[in-house]
Structure 1
Amino acid sequence: MAKAIMIQGTGSNVGKSMIVAGILRAARARGLTVRPFKPQNMSNNAAVTSDGGEIGRAQALQARACGVAPHTDMNPILLKPQTATGAQVIVQGQVAGHQEAHAFGKNKAALMPAVLESFARLGAECDLIVVEGAGSPAETNLRAGDIANMGFARAAGVPVILMGDIDRGGVIAQIVGTQAVLSDEDNALIKGFCVNKFRGDRSLFDKGRDDIAARTSWPSLGVLPWFEHAARLPAEDVMDLPARARSGGDGIVIAVPQLPRIANFDDLDPLAAEPGVDLRMITPGTPIPAEADLVLLVGSKSTIADLAALRAAGWDIDIAAHIRRGGHVMGLCGGYQMLGRSIDDPNGIEGPAGRVQGLGHLEVDTVLAPSKNLLLRDGVHLPSGAALNGYEIHMGETNGPDCARPWLRLGNTDDGASDRTGRVLGCYLHGIFGSDSFRSAYLEGFGARSSVVFEDQVEETLDALAAHIEAYFDLDALLDAAAEIG
């Protein structure tokens, strides 16, 4: 019978996703069949699964740590923010509609049966499920109807380990304060705590660790040092992107405008890993650098709103000037749509129904549609013959004269669009820069040499993360605390 344990955090971005991936890889190395599970995630960085749905990309990485393909049961509820107060709701991999935050807060408990159904299916195929919470259980205003943290743990009978982040400061208050605001019933599920992201001499925190244990009566499962190779793993959150970009090094300059609803930005991780690439995230208020070799427009959850934000930042002017100077531009998915002549939203998918003018650098037009394309694709880069693979995750179709100049072949079909110069390209395929042969061929066109085998680097980093867990985290105590489910 499968067992389960849950890692909850004292806040967002405390490192839960990465540590869960490390625990899963370490447990797998011990001979256990393991699976990841996150009841509810909020992210526009999604992965397409083999069963034709989508989940948070962090769970896809965790599935990789387990040595299995991503499945929609690993993240049954995914919220994809479209506005400041609303999100597209994905249930077991498929679009279930759009809800404003206040409505979701009232209705989220109705999603618990789907969460428990997915959890039970995972439990039927493994020895251990490691569950990841979302945000913090100390957000008492969200406790009623909760499906992401203690609400799920209580419903499924899953014990909890609480993780704090010492790098942001106040970790003693983070952990002790969490206990103070939780109910006795919720606190009873917590079987221990750990501290993540410690820099320097860990012995300097011995008294702090012991103070937490004394105040909470929870045992410590470890004080984990900062994992130096974290940037080698695919980024989960847009907040991680500026640091990733700085790791790119000297070489050809690839500028990426950081738009408010940037989505599916996993293409950036392989580029950031290349020593010959200087990947720069461009934030509002900063012009696109004149020395850029390539401007890369990645995906967007709200293409029309992000296009307006791009114009508000003045980047439309910068991109036009970049093209006049002979620069290259590539648009992926939402970025592809922006590069066209128009974007038509007759059904009001992204807001009020209507049509907006695109940047006009590709002679194509987009019509947004209610159905979502979710496909894993294999193909070829036509100019070089390099093999590539990726995925489509978009709502809408794009057509026009520049589609007669494709630069990809996916299956037996030519795909993508390019302008007359061949310097402005667009397509719907995400993930292509993760294909070493394509990335090498494409960068070579700029005089840069690829020196990274990206997939091998990710595997090596997951193994290093598992060793990090074994060295600094009490994995035996975690396995002992796990409870049988079902």
Structure 2
Amino acid sequence: MTALMIQGTGSNVGKSLLVAGLCRAARKRGIDVAPFKPQNMSNNAAVTADGGEIGRAQALQALACGLAPHSDMNPVLLKPQTDTGAQVVVQGKRVATSEARDYGTLKPRLLDAVLDSFARLSARHDLVIVEGAGSPAEINLRPRDIANMGFACAAQVPVVLAGDIDRGGVIAQIVGTQAVLDPGDAAMVKGFLINRFRGDLRLFDDGYRMIEARTGWPGFGTLPWFPEAWKLPAEDAVDIHTPRRTEGLHVVCLALSRIANFDDLDPLAQEPGVRLTILGPGRAIPGDADLVILPGSKSTRGDLAFLRAQGWDVDLAAHVRRGGHVLGICGGYQMLGRSVADPDGIEGPPGTTPGLGLLEIDTVMTSDKRLTETRATHAATGRAFLGYEIHIGRSDGPDRARPFAHVAGEPEGAATPNGRIAGSYLHGMFRDDAFRAAWLNSFGVQSAGRYDSTVEAVLDGLADHMEAHLDVTGLLALAR
């Protein structure tokens, strides 16, 4: 087994991107490398080749390695449904819904699954680069930890600690982390690196040496800010970068409280002819919106209540009266209908919630979860595309007679008679350049994007950036 783990001094310090860059750098050196994250918490998931689901960040890391996503790359995925509860996905399959207060008792049983997946992945590849979650400094969680030092110690994987200088206090981040770690855990840390530096690198030389002197850990370099990072899929919805544009097709996406699979928006954000707005709570839908997207959600009925609390139901009705377009994707598609029923309480308390009534369909939640890549043909443009499904529930009603697409000759999704309101269960449709071009053309917009090739080029650029500023050779030499 040869492996290296990148842990962070906190959440959102850039661990996912660092692992993706290291994976691509290792691959460019001819190493057979794979990504691994013991535990992730995200509603942004990807369908795997073995019929499961993992965090979208691990799917990006798999791409960096030249691999298809596999459930072993992220054996425990937590998908929040409420402020205190989450769906627990183990090795790609949903096994439970757990409240936060009860999850600690479940963790020890999950470590076996984590180590099992890690062993299989290690046996298939020459190098595994592991991403931690949150911070090892959360020592209150250490007794049952499976995401950071609990995993590193159990699997005997060396750790490099990453700090984020952009948020300030990076010396305290790293020195403070060492100060609270148990000596056995601290011994697993073999060095540190600094992420997201802006400006003259020489100005941090003294700080860098102070960290080395205080901790006794060697530094592996300071990585300057990578400006192209926004073109890679974001792990958290708050990280979606939307270029500031004042012209173009105005697409407004509602930032639901349990928004899921929001990477559907990434290809649109990169189109120069599109002005994308991620609309946060408390803000009205702009009157100049051309298209409003209702994205996926991990809690359809819960987000219907959230949507109404923002007054977006009233705004949507006004948008439709003005002749605006609406697209619902997955959970957003379900919300557009007349009702959403959850008789078995799969996503929350059993019951039925009135939908927005913009599509003549009704949805019933079922225990069966559909996880698959799907080839479809868009009904309006005739363009074929590859998407994926990751949902529970069945939707039916009169508007299904006008499908959004066809899958294996069968109707998929629904649309109103004038076609201005449509919904589909298919995620990932906009990644297909030809379909996206045809779809944008229907709005009078010319596409200029090559999305997948752009992502590949950015990953190559990230690897080169890391090679130029970090001791990548030294980092890879730590793996054992």
Give the TM-score taking structure 1 as reference length.
0.98
| 1:374-401 per-position Cα deviation (integer Å, ceiling 9, x unaligned) | 0100121122221211110111000000
Counterparts of 2:293 and 2:477 in 1: how far apart (Å)?
48
- Taking a change above 3 Å as real, the CA distance of residues 23 and 406 of structure 1, as seen in their structure-2 partners, is same
Q: Which residue among 267, 270, 286 is the counterpart of 1:270?
A: 267
> Is contact 1:380–1:387 with CA below 8 Å preserved after alignment?
yes
Match of 1:375 in 2: 372
> Is contact 1:248–1:276 with CA below 8 Å preserved after alignment?
no
Shift, 1:246, TM fit: 3.4
Shift, 1:414, TM fit: 2.2
Matches within 5 A, 1:414-425: 414-425=411-422
- Does residue 339 (structure 1) correspond to residue 336 (structure 2)? The answer is yes
Q: Give the secondary-structure state (helix, strand or coil) at the position aligned to 1:359.
A: coil
Q: Which residue among 242, 255, 260 is the counterpart of 2:257?
A: 260
- Does residue 293 (structure 1) correspond to residue 290 (structure 2)? The answer is yes
| 1:250-306 per-position Cα deviation (integer Å, ceiling 9, x unaligned) | 311001111110001111100000011000011111100010000000100001010
Shift, 1:446, TM fit: 1.3
Counterparts of 2:236 and 2:76 in 1: how far apart (Å)?
17
- Taking a change above 3 Å as real, the CA distance of residues 238 and 109 of structure 1, as seen in their structure-2 partners, is same
Counterparts of 1:297 and 1:351 in 2: how far apart (Å)?
20
> Is contact 1:249–1:276 with CA below 8 Å preserved after alignment?
no
Counterparts of 1:398 and 1:279 in 2: how far apart (Å)?
28
Counterparts of 2:200 and 2:425 in 1: how far apart (Å)?
47
| 1:9-46 per-position Cα deviation (integer Å, ceiling 9, x unaligned) | 00000000001000000001001000000000000000
Match of 1:177 in 2: 176
Match of 2:141 in 1: 142
5+ long unaligned stretches in structure 1: none
Q: Give the secondary-structure state (helix, strand or coil) at the position aligned to 1:319.
A: helix
Q: Give the secondary-structure state (helix, strand or coil) at the position aligned to 2:263.
A: coil
- Taking a change above 3 Å as real, the CA distance of residues 65 and 474 of structure 1, as seen in their structure-2 partners, is same
> Is contact 1:249–1:277 with CA below 8 Å preserved after alignment?
no
Match of 2:113 in 1: 114
Matches within 5 A, 1:353-392: 353-392=350-389
| 1:54-99 per-position Cα deviation (integer Å, ceiling 9, x unaligned) | 0000000000000010000000000000010110000000001100
Counterpart residue identity of residue 260, structure 2: A
Q: Give the secondary-structure state (helix, strand or coil) at the position aligned to 1:256.
A: strand
Counterparts of 2:113 and 2:474 in 1: how far apart (Å)?
30
Match of 1:396 in 2: 393
Counterparts of 1:28 and 1:224 in 2: how far apart (Å)?
20
Match of 1:472 in 2: 469
Counterparts of 2:23 and 2:49 in 1: how far apart (Å)?
20
- Does residue 200 (structure 1) correspond to residue 199 (structure 2)? The answer is yes
Match of 2:227 in 1: 228
- Does residue 216 (structure 1) correspond to residue 215 (structure 2)? The answer is yes
Counterparts of 2:215 and 2:101 in 1: how far apart (Å)?
33
Match of 1:59 in 2: 58
Counterparts of 2:73 and 2:164 in 1: how far apart (Å)?
25
- Please say which of residues 245-254 and 115-124 is displaced more in the overlay: 245-254
Q: Which residue among 424, 429, 432 is the counterpart of 2:426?
A: 429
Counterparts of 1:54 and 1:124 in 2: how far apart (Å)?
21
Match of 1:448 in 2: 445
Q: Work out the percentage of aligned pairs sharing the same amino acid.
A: 61
Counterparts of 1:118 and 1:349 in 2: how far apart (Å)?
27
Match of 1:44 in 2: 43
Counterpart residue identity of residue 96, structure 2: G
Q: Give the secondary-structure state (helix, strand or coil) at the position aligned to 2:143.
A: coil
Match of 2:166 in 1: 167
Shift, 1:245, TM fit: 2.0
Counterparts of 2:250 and 2:431 in 1: how far apart (Å)?
18
> Is contact 1:24–1:36 with CA below 8 Å preserved after alignment?
yes
Match of 1:97 in 2: 96
Counterparts of 2:297 and 2:230 in 1: how far apart (Å)?
22
Counterparts of 2:165 and 2:385 in 1: how far apart (Å)?
41
Q: Give the secondary-structure state (helix, strand or coil) at the position aligned to 1:229.
A: helix
> Is contact 1:254–1:280 with CA below 8 Å preserved after alignment?
yes
Give the TM-score taking structure 2 as reference length.
0.99
Counterparts of 2:250 and 2:122 in 1: how far apart (Å)?
47
- Please say which of residues 209-218 and 401-410 is displaced more in the overlay: 401-410
Match of 1:405 in 2: 402
Counterpart residue identity of residue 481, structure 1: L
Counterparts of 2:72 and 2:408 in 1: how far apart (Å)?
28
Counterparts of 2:410 and 2:13 in 1: how far apart (Å)?
44
Counterparts of 1:411 and 1:173 in 2: how far apart (Å)?
57
User: Deviation above 6 Å: which 4+ runs of structure 1?
Assistant: none
Match of 2:321 in 1: 324
Counterpart residue identity of residue 428, structure 2: G
5+ long unaligned stretches in structure 2: none
Counterparts of 1:139 and 1:245 in 2: how far apart (Å)?
32
Counterparts of 2:203 and 2:3 in 1: how far apart (Å)?
33
Counterpart residue identity of residue 258, structure 2: R
Match of 1:133 in 2: 132
Counterparts of 1:334 and 1:359 in 2: how far apart (Å)?
12
Shift, 1:465, TM fit: 0.5
Match of 2:27 in 1: 28
| 1:393-419 per-position Cα deviation (integer Å, ceiling 9, x unaligned) | 111000000000012112222211001
Counterpart residue identity of residue 330, structure 2: C
| 1:80-127 per-position Cα deviation (integer Å, ceiling 9, x unaligned) | 000101100000000011001111012211100100000000011111
> Is contact 1:222–1:474 with CA below 8 Å preserved after alignment?
yes
Counterparts of 1:248 and 1:391 in 2: how far apart (Å)?
30
Counterparts of 1:413 and 1:420 in 2: how far apart (Å)?
19
Counterpart residue identity of residue 124, structure 1: A
